[in-house]
């Protein structure tokens, strides 16, 4: 407290305040950036040493320029600078401990998270980091008194500061232009490691795009969509599409993983496992809207996804009963906005919704599902959105009797657990998902006398479990490892469904072994599965088309 009291008697001008904050972001405020830069340092030559020594000068000048506009806000500059410092401290924790990047999807995840998801990340080390690298420096900065001089004098100081900074940057650029160009060209991820530039830039972009999406009217898609009379006269079809969360393909026993992570499904001869499937993104906020939209991964645009109808809208308009059951604490990202929805945690099912954060085990998705199916007339598509293997609290994703592999990592500080314990815990989440999928098939089979029934499972994205020092997910797709982009996809069809849909399951099983698929196939495959005819339907993206008589 005495330190802050003494700081209150220190009088500085606005430009000096900018220097102090710029110095903070050049040093303690960018620990993760300097770790990355040190890994790219080439100190085997005089030029390499001089280039590395120029980096702190370059970043100080860069922050000095970028923070100057804040000086024009006399009553807001201290609160805004303090907010930047505190947010940077929180970001530093995740960047250092989990090796994540603060890119657009990560910022979107922050804006769209909820209390349960935030709670899963809370820890004493996170709190200490925010206090030591955020709250204390911010409090010290706020304690400083700003000397308000004449307007002309202040403007002169600001002009001299800008000109001097630009001069230094010009000299550095002239001397080391090739070095900086090479560093940024070969290591694009560095742009998303510069605090607070990364989250300010991406937050600004997110909010702009969110405003555009909200202000635009919903665009109808496939208004010509129909289903032929022959389709309407057959037995009703019921498809349950299970959207997994954070399941990665390489840990699925059905894909060749040596551990028994699919003990239920692996015993069934009628399961079709697709061995080479890629996700649209590395975070739910991108993958979920993308897989239900007509856009491919390379075409995906979040504003467009939010402002035009998805495949659920088309199926609903053609007479298919749609039900979305949500157990994911991140919600459906707008995909289920116009269809019937069950929020499963709201049911507070005894024995299923027992976690302190309000989340439920995924078996809750089957709670009273029979009654919902019985009420459906005609064809139906039910989407079960899992909580799945969402981290870092993997140990909370399965009940006590799902503790198959031990020892486990019963903490959200997964970077401190041994790799064996972390893998055991994550694999237990997959064993539990396998149980849920097995029960889903059992439920469907109970309706096989009245309906043609099928199940499709696909995860939204994968997960890093410490490979190359990376944890969790959300890495920009361009540099994301396969652990985050390769996802499991599993299907089951009743014999009657395959017969009436003219599906050659042997053909499908053969293609599942060697053909590459992705989330791009989901939209058109669902249209094809319900015999929807429309100009938007692309047969080459319908993964069933090649095996349909």
Q: Which residues, at least 6 apart from 168, have a Cβ–Cβ distance to it below 8 Å?
A: 57, 61
Q: Which residues, at least 6 apart from 447, have a Cβ–Cβ distance to it below 8 Å?
A: 238, 373, 453
With beta carbons less than 8 A apart as the criterion, state whether 490 and 271 touch.
yes
Residues of the chain below pLDDT 70? 1-11, 72, 147-151, 229-233
Q: Which residues, at least 6 apart from 444, have a Cβ–Cβ distance to it below 8 Å?
A: 238, 240, 453, 454, 455, 492, 494
Q: Coil, strand or helix: which one is 334?
A: coil
Q: How far is CA 441 from CA 402, 431, 446, in A?
A: 19, 16, 9
- First vs last Cα of the chain: how many Å apart? 79
Burial of 3 per CB tally in 10 Å (0-12, 13-18, 19+)? exposed
- pLDDT, residue 7, reads 52
Q: Rounded CA gap, 33 and 260, in Å?
A: 40
Q: What's the gap between Cα 527 and its chain centre?
A: 26
With beta carbons less than 8 A apart as the criterion, state whether 47 and 204 touch.
no
- Please state the φ and ψ torsions of residue 521, each to the nearest 5 degrees: -85, -15
Tokens of 56: 């702190």
Centre a 10 Å sphere on the Cβ of residue 266 and count the other Cβ atoms it contains. 15
Find the DSSP H helices in 187-225: 197-215
pTM score, whole prediction: 0.89
Centre a 10 Å sphere on the Cβ of residue 308 and count the other Cβ atoms it contains. 18
- Domains (ranges, CATH) in the chain? 2-210 (no CATH), 229-547 (3.40.720.10)
- pLDDT, residue 214, reads 84
């Amino acid at each position: 407290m005495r330190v802050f009291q003494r700081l209150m008697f220190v009088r500085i001008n606005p430009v000096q305040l900018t220097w102090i904050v710029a110095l903070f972001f050049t040093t303690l405020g960018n620990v993760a950036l300097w770790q990355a830069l040190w890994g790219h340092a080439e100190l085997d030559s005089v030029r390499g040493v001089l280039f590395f020594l120029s980096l702190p000068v370059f970043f100080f000048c860069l922050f000095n320029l970028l923070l100057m506009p804040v000086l024009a806000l006399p009553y807001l500059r201290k609160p805004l600078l303090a907010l930047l410092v505190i947010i940077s401290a929180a970001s530093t924790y995740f960047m250092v401990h989990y090796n994540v990047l603060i890119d657009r999807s990560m910022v979107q995840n922050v804006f769209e998270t909820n209390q349960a998801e935030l709670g899963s990340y809370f820890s004493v080390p996170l709190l200490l980091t925010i206090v030591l690298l955020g709250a204390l420096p911010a409090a010290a900065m706020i304690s400083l008194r700003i000397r308000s001089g004449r307007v002309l004098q202040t403007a002169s100081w600001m002009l001299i500061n800008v000109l001097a900074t630009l001069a230094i940057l010009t000299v550095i650029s002239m001397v080391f232009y090739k070095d900086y160009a090479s560093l940024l060209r070969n290591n694009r991820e560095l742009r998303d490691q510069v605090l607070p530039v990364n989250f300010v830039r991406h937050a600004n972009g997110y909010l702009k795009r969110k405003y555009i999406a909200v202000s635009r009217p919903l665009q109808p898609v496939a208004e010509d969509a129909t289903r032929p009379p022959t389709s309407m006269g057959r037995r009703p079809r019921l498809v349950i599409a299970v959207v997994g969360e954070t399941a990665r393909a390489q840990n699925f026993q059905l894909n060749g993983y040596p551990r028994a992570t699919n003990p239920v499904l692996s015993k069934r001869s009628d399961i079709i496992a697709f061995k080479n499937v890629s996700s649209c993104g590395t975070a739910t906020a991108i993958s979920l809207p993308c897989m239900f939209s007509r856009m491919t991964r390379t075409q995906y645009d979040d504003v467009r996804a939010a402002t035009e109808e998805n495949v659920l809208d088309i199926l609903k308009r053609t007479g298919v009963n749609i039900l979305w059951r949500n157990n994911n604490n991140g919600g459906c990202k707008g995909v289920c906005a116009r269809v019937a929805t069950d929020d499963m945690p709201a049911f507070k099912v005894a024995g299923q919704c027992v976690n302190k954060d309000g989340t439920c085990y995924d078996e809750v998705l089957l709670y009273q599902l029979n009654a919902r199916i019985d009420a459906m007339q005609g064809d139906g598509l039910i989407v079960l959105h899992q909580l799945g293997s969402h981290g870092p609290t993997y140990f909370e994703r399965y009940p006590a009797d799902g503790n198959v592999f031990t020892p486990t990592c019963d903490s959200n500080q997964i970077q401190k657990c041994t790799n064996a314990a972390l893998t055991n815990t994550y694999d237990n989440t997959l064993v539990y998902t396998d149980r849920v999928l097995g029960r889903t098939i059992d439920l469907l089979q109970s309706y096989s006398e009245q309906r043609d029934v099928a199940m499709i499972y696909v995860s939204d994205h994968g997960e890093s479990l410490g490979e190359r020092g990376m944890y969790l997910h959300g890495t920009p797709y361009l540099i994301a490892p396969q652990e985050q982009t390769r996802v499991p996809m599993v299907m089951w069809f009743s014999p009657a469904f395959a017969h009436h849909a003219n599906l050659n399951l042997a053909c499908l099983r053969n293609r599942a072994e060697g053909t590459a698929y992705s989330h791009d196939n989901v939209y058109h495959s669902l249209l094809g599965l319900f015999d929807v005819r429309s100009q938007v339907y692309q047969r080459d993206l319908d993964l069933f088309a090649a095996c349909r008589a």
